[in-house]
């Protein structure tokens, strides 16, 4: 199919059809092996551009795959064969209104850019995926992204007041807006958040901001026993309210230490990074209580600091876990979560899966949320190992579901986790997903293959 | 139509058909004049009871109106002629899990009962509608209820992790659950919250709890000028983060003073009740800064107290505003909200509407959210005045929409505000509401006439 009509329907410079340039738009960070070759990549610059693309696609039954910064971890932005990749990378305006403590943001703006714009007014946009300096707000909306501070401050949906969305038939509709309370009609804003581009293309977002966070006090604790560390997490999360409660296991600690040489304890079974952002005196009290809980649970070493920079070094270590482990091989990136009392069972079960399948699984976790990221490492040239890693990937999800947990806490279902969705949410909830998708995008033009099975939708 | 089959399909004692007993189930607190006479009232005691009722109704095309405590203010629980009122008043179990800081609650439990159960474990369920000691959690879910502390702590949807819902065909489906992060599939939990019983009947709710609130410091300020008071509100809300920021105008102050004789200033144009729940030293600083802002904006008298009981007396005064104004006549209860910079225009505009229509409108507001409750007072025996009040009711909503605001911040559309929904959200957003309703309840069995126009749904 030719794209001449698409090129001529859009202002100049929007459409890429050159195969070499399109190549980098075929994958997000999940590197889906089944990525197709798109018909065209469109870099939209306005809501009107997005409408033109969606109308063009809807009239011809072509897939539209919306794309933010391409940092997604479950293949939500994998290109579809013969479809259009609709990149929002050029739509990144940010307008902060300090009087109402809101920001109006275009979807291509990076999370870190929104944070920086808010900070200029002494304000804060809390959600902080580890990828915050290279992920887009549009992608955060698509997956209802979480992060490190979410244990105290909630996830993306908690900060979205309104959206502008281009629907599957090309109409542009404003949902919600800069009103702090609004219950007129169904909560469509919340429905579109986390819908992974399957119901509409978000072209503008109204965010709620809060006053800047106080400089945190940071505690780092290492444990010789994995069980002791997860018991400490439960003790902390059920009695305190830290602003961060992160976990790294031994393979992760070693990968980060290989990359940083910052002097982490390579023999530790687990390391926790905990922060309190209460006013100084209260933070000191909170951190002292958390330290006592760590000691009660056989912590090996405990260190705390009120110096934000010193503390940040450990947070950076935690955030660089994924790139550090990536040095060891190709990754399958998991995102399973469980109710906190089951965190120990999950972590220990993952260790057993790693042993049984003879692969390395490095586990990091937003421990206070029960949300873990097991990183399955494999050598892509070793086909047998690769297959074992894929089997283990499914087994980790099965284990999480068995423990009352979810197959994805914050990365989304995308294409990689689609086969596990029905088993987790059940046929009735899946049926509701299908009904809503069919009601809003009956042709399945928007991100087909993400989240829901196109074959089932047609039936 | 006879109900014998319904009676025999349910365990004994569930079904009421006696007209006199059914009478009190025909209205909620909106006293909708168009309330019908139901075929039967069912007091469900289990999810299975609810399924039986919905299946019975679906097979026969009978309306089901779910009902919590009947404290709704926009006619969301008005009985439908020949339909079934499905009361959840007997489903009020509450189980708190302090380890995960969650509660599993049946919909008939009162908000205050949930708060009390959480408090037994040193935990807190924040959302606090003024009606918290006689409204149900199920009703709170139905309307995504707000309250006084929402200015800092958010609304109902921010505390719901999961729901069990009986769908329009009688299936029972679990959505979400006790996982702090979960993005597997569409966010159906959030979609059902605020859907006013039109998409399903909620039979169980998993709530997130947080540590108990610190005892607040309270500030009360009176103003001779209405404009000065709303400017003070904007100054406070854009620079501080109070845990309560409430507003009462002169008619409200006088009605409350008539009812309480607590010594409120009858000449004040407006009174603010503000709280800070920061740690003592910080609360003192926050309240001092708020006091300074009030003084800068020509406050007449400012009083503050760290005594929680003394502070609570003013909060009680604010909470009893509706019953106090109710003493003056019948009420039409408004619930309009605007972005905070427009609050002054809204309050002044309402004053003008009151003058033009020659009726009393007492205004209370969750001022920090821009969410106001104009209470339109009329003598039901004075038909001309009653008509003028109804005209003013619409004019207040028109004014709010003109100012970029909403027709309902926290009470819901119900039946009373339905005619104004399209004008506010627009035809495209309304179309999305219709599509989702038709996808989930194609027969329009669930709460027909609430939120959406049945005539339009059929077309």
CATH number of the domain where residue A201 is located:
3.30.465.10
Q: Is the same domain home to A12 and A115?
A: no
Residue B151, chain A, CB below 8 Å: the answer is yes
pLDDT higher than threshold 80 for residue A297: yes
Reported as a single tens digit per residue, the pLDDT across B272-288 is: 999 999 998 899 999 99
| Cα–chain center distance at A90 | 21
Between chains, do A451 and B158 touch, taking CB under 8 Å as contact? no
Q: Is the same domain home to A437 and A316?
A: no
Q: What percent of chain B lies above the pLDDT cut of 70?
A: 99
Please indicate, yes or no, if residue A411 is contained in any of the structural domains.
no
Residue B68, chain A, CB below 8 Å: the answer is no
Whether the Cβ atoms of residue A283 and residue A277 lie closer than 8 Å to each other: yes
How many distinct structural domains can be found in chain B?
A: 5
Q: What is the CATH number of the domain that holds A81?
A: 3.30.43.10
Residue A380, chain B, CB below 8 Å: the answer is no
Q: What is the CATH number of the domain that holds B384?
A: 3.30.70.2740
Cβ atoms within 10 Å of B122's Cβ, excluding its own: 12
Q: How far apart are CA B1 and CA B320, in angstroms?
A: 43
Mean pLDDT for chain B overall? 97
Backbone torsions φ then ψ of B208, nearest 5 degrees: -90, 135
Set of chain B residues whose Cβ sits within 8 Å of the Cβ of A241: 210-211
| Residue B147 backbone zone (phi > 0: left; psi -120 to 50: alpha; other: beta) | left
Q: Is the same domain home to A101 and A176?
A: yes
Between chains, do A143 and B183 touch, taking CB under 8 Å as contact? yes
Q: What is the mean pLDDT of residues B419-434?
A: 98
Set of chain A residues whose Cβ sits within 8 Å of the Cβ of B159: none
Tell me the C-alpha to C-alpha distance, in Å, between residue B271 and each of B153, B274, B299, B360: 22, 10, 9, 18
Q: Is the same domain home to B402 and B436?
A: no
Residue B171, chain A, CB below 8 Å: the answer is yes
Q: Is the same domain home to A71 and A102?
A: no
Q: What is the mean pLDDT of residues B413-432?
A: 97
Q: Is the same domain home to B266 and B315?
A: yes
Q: Is the same domain home to B402 and B442?
A: no
Reported as a single tens digit per residue, the pLDDT across A81-94 is: 999 999 999 999 99
Please indicate, yes or no, if residue B413 is contained in any of the structural domains.
no
Q: Is the same domain home to B218 and B197?
A: no
Whether the Cβ atoms of residue A408 and residue B184 lie closer than 8 Å to each other: yes
Distance from CA of A81 to the nearest CA of B (A): 23
Q: Which of A181, A278, A413 sits opposite B150 (nearest CB)?
A: A181
**Candidates B146, B153, B162, B186, partner chain A, best to mutate (most A CBs within 10 A):** B186
Set of chain A residues whose Cβ sits within 8 Å of the Cβ of B187: 144, 157, 190-191, 193-195
**Candidates A177, A186, A199, A370, partner chain B, best to mutate (most B CBs within 10 A):** A186
**pLDDT for residue A3:** 84
Nearest CA to A168 among A458, A439, A457? A439
pLDDT higher than threshold 90 for residue A375: yes
Q: Which H helix or E strand runs over A300?
A: strand A299-305
Whether the Cβ atoms of residue A255 and residue A324 lie closer than 8 Å to each other: yes
**pLDDT for residue B458:** 72
List the structure tokens of A293: 């809980």
Q: How far apart are CA B33 and CA A74, in angstroms?
A: 53
Residue B412, chain A, CB below 8 Å: the answer is yes
Please indicate, yes or no, if residue B29 is contained in any of the structural domains.
yes
**pLDDT for residue B1:** 54
Whether the Cβ atoms of residue B289 and residue B282 lie closer than 8 Å to each other: no
What is the domain extent for residue B278?
214-328
Q: How far apart are CA B69 and CA B67, in angstroms?
A: 7
Q: Is the same domain home to A114 and A251?
A: no
Q: How far apart are CA B70 and CA B139, in angstroms?
A: 8
DSSP string, A65-118: EEESSS--SSSTTPPPTT-EEEE-TT---EEEETTTTEEEE-TTSBHHHHHHHH
Q: Is the same domain home to A270 and A384?
A: yes
pLDDT higher than threshold 70 for residue A75: yes
Q: Is the same domain home to A260 and A308?
A: yes
Distance from CA of B173 to the nearest CA of A (A): 6
Between chains, do A186 and B144 touch, taking CB under 8 Å as contact? no
Q: What is the CATH number of the domain that holds A375?
A: 3.40.462.40
Domain end position, chosen among B164, B196, B211: B211
Q: Which residue of A has its CA nearest to B170?
A: A428
How does residue A280 score in pLDDT terms, banded at 50, 70 and 90?
confident
Please indicate, yes or no, if residue A156 is contained in any of the structural domains.
yes
Give the angle subtended at the CA of A374 by the CAs of A371 and A380, to the nearest 5°.
Answer: 150
Tell me the C-alpha to C-alpha distance, in Å, between residue B177 and each of A122, A348, A357, B102, B205: 35, 23, 31, 10, 9
Please indicate, yes or no, if residue B293 is contained in any of the structural domains.
yes
List the structure tokens of B379: 């003598």
**pLDDT for residue A288:** 98
Domain end position, chosen among B280, B310, B328: B328
Residue entry with tokens 């993952």: A350
Partners of B221 in beta bridges: B272, B302
A:338-367 residues touching chain B, CB 8 A cutoff? 338-341, 366
Q: Which residue of A has its CA nearest to B157?
A: A158
**pLDDT for residue A146:** 95
Q: How far apart are CA A63 and CA A80, in angstroms?
A: 7
Domain end position, chosen among B58, B87, B116: B87
Q: Is the same domain home to A430 and A333?
A: no
Set of chain A residues whose Cβ sits within 8 Å of the Cβ of B244: none
Please indicate, yes or no, if residue B234 is contained in any of the structural domains.
yes
Set of chain A residues whose Cβ sits within 8 Å of the Cβ of B234: 99
Please indicate, yes or no, if residue B118 is contained in any of the structural domains.
yes
Please indicate, yes or no, if residue A412 is contained in any of the structural domains.
no
Residue B126, chain A, CB below 8 Å: the answer is no
pLDDT higher than threshold 90 for residue B459: no
How does residue A196 score in pLDDT terms, banded at 50, 70 and 90?
very high
Reported as a single tens digit per residue, the pLDDT across B197-245 is: 999 999 999 999 999 999 999 999 999 999 999 999 999 999 999 999 9
Q: Which residue of A has its CA nearest to B407?
A: A184
**pLDDT for residue A1:** 54
Cβ atoms within 10 Å of A33's Cβ, excluding its own: 10
């Amino acid at each position: 199919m030719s794209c001449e009509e698409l090129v001529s329907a859009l202002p100049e410079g929007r459409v890429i059809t050159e195969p070499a340039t399109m190549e980098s738009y075929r994958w997000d960070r999940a590197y889906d092996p089944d990525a197709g070759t798109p018909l065209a990549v469109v870099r939209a610059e306005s809501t009107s551009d997005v409408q033109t693309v969606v109308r063009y696609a809807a009239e011809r039954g072509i897939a539209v795959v919306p794309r933010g910064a391409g940092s997604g971890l479950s293949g939500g932005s994998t290109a579809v064969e013969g479809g259009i990749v609709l990149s929002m990378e050029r739509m990144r305006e940010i307008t902060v209104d300090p009087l109402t403590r809101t920001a109006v943001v275009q979807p291509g703006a990076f999370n870190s850019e929104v944070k920086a714009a808010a900070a200029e007014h002494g304000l804060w946009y809390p959600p902080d995926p580890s990828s915050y300096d290279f992920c887009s707000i549009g992608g955060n909306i698509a997956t209802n992204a979480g992060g490190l501070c979410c244990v105290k401050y909630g996830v993306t949906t908690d900060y979205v007041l309104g959206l502008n969305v281009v629907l599957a038939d090309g109409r542009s509709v404003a949902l919600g807006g800069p009103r702090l309370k609004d219950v007129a009609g169904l909560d469509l804003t919340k429905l579109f958040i986390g819908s992974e581009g399957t119901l509409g293309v978000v072209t503008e977002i109204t965010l709620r901001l809060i006053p800047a966070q106080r400089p945190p006090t940071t505690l780092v604790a290492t444990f010789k026993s994995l069980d002791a560390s997860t018991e400490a997490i439960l003790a902390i999360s059920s009695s305190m309210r830290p602003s961060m409660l992160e976990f790294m296991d031994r393979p992760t600690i070693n990968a980060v230490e290989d990359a940083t040489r910052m002097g982490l304890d390579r023999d530790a079974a687990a390391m926790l990074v905990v922060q309190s952002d209460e006013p100084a005196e209260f933070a000191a009290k909170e951190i002292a209580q958390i330290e006592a809980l760590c000691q009660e649970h056989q912590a090996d070493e405990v260190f705390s600091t009120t110096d934000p920079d010193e503390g940040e070094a450990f947070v950076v270590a935690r955030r660089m876990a994924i790139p550090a482990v990536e040095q060891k091989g190709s990754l399958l990136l998991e995102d399973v979560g469980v109710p906190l009392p089951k965190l120990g069972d999950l972590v220990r079960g993952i260790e057993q899966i790693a042993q049984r399948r003879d692969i390395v699984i490095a586990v990091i976790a937003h421990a206070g949320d029960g949300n873990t990221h097991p990183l399955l490492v494999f050598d892509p040239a070793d086909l047998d190992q690769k297959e074992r890693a894929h089997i283990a990937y499914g087994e980790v999800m099965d284990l999480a579901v068995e423990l009352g947990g979810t197959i994805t806490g914050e990365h989304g279902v995308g294409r990689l986790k689609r086969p596990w969705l029905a088993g987790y949410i059940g046929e009735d909830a899946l049926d509701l997903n299908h009904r809503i998708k069919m009601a809003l995008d009956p042709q399945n033009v928007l991100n087909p293959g993400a989240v829901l099975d196109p074959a089932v939708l047609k039936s």
